[in-house]
Structure 1
Amino acid sequence: MFFGLDRATDEQSLITFLKQFSEDRLLGTLAPRMSEDEIHQVVDLLTMVMRNHLSGEEYHYLFLGEDHHHH
């Protein structure tokens, strides 16, 4: 992972970083050690990023794994 070289490398590095961060062993170790405030900060940041860059339909399909979004 390298950040700051160019946009394409940053995007690929972000994908790799987030995949590694989301590994069960790492999160199983980190989550119990995090404060409530840290947990809320992480959730708030990721929610904001999705809200800023995904449509409602994309959110339901890509994040929630729903095939169809019903109103």
Structure 2
Amino acid sequence: MANHSHRFIEEFDGFIGFGLNAESDMDTVIYYLQKFSDDQLMQHLRKRLTSQDREAIFDLISSLLKKHLTEPEYHRYFMKDEH
């Protein structure tokens, strides 16, 4: 069985748009991240992303994980292992 899931994008039927309110902003961020991480899209984009693009994506995600997760949470929710 797979460790990762993207159920939100498959089940969400609400408003997608940024700037209306905090709730729809968060829904939109989740929606965009799950769409962005789609395997087919990533296969297409990986050929086009510059080293600066890759570094910016990696740095943004890493900094958010460090800011908002403890080390045990990082391993449990992001790495999907029990550290």
1:47 is aligned to 2:65: no
Q: Structure 1 residue 36: deviation in Å?
A: 1.1
TM-score between both structures, scaled by the size of structure 2: 0.78
TM-score between both structures, scaled by the size of structure 1: 0.90
- CA–CA separation in structure 1 for the residues paired with 2:73 and 2:27: 20
2:42 matched residue in structure 1: 27
- Percentage of pairs with the same residue: 31
- CA–CA separation in structure 1 for the residues paired with 2:51 and 2:31: 26
CA deviation string 1:9-62 (max 9, x = no partner): 111111111000000111111111111121111101110011111111111010
Q: Which runs of 5+ in 2 are unaligned?
A: 1-15
Task: Pick from 13, 34, 37 the counterpart of residue 52 of structure 2.
Answer: 37
- Match of 2:47, SS state, is helix
Q: Which has the higher contact order (CA 8 A, sep 6+)?
A: 2
Alpha-carbon RMSD: 0.8
- Match of 1:33, SS state, is coil
Aligned length: 68
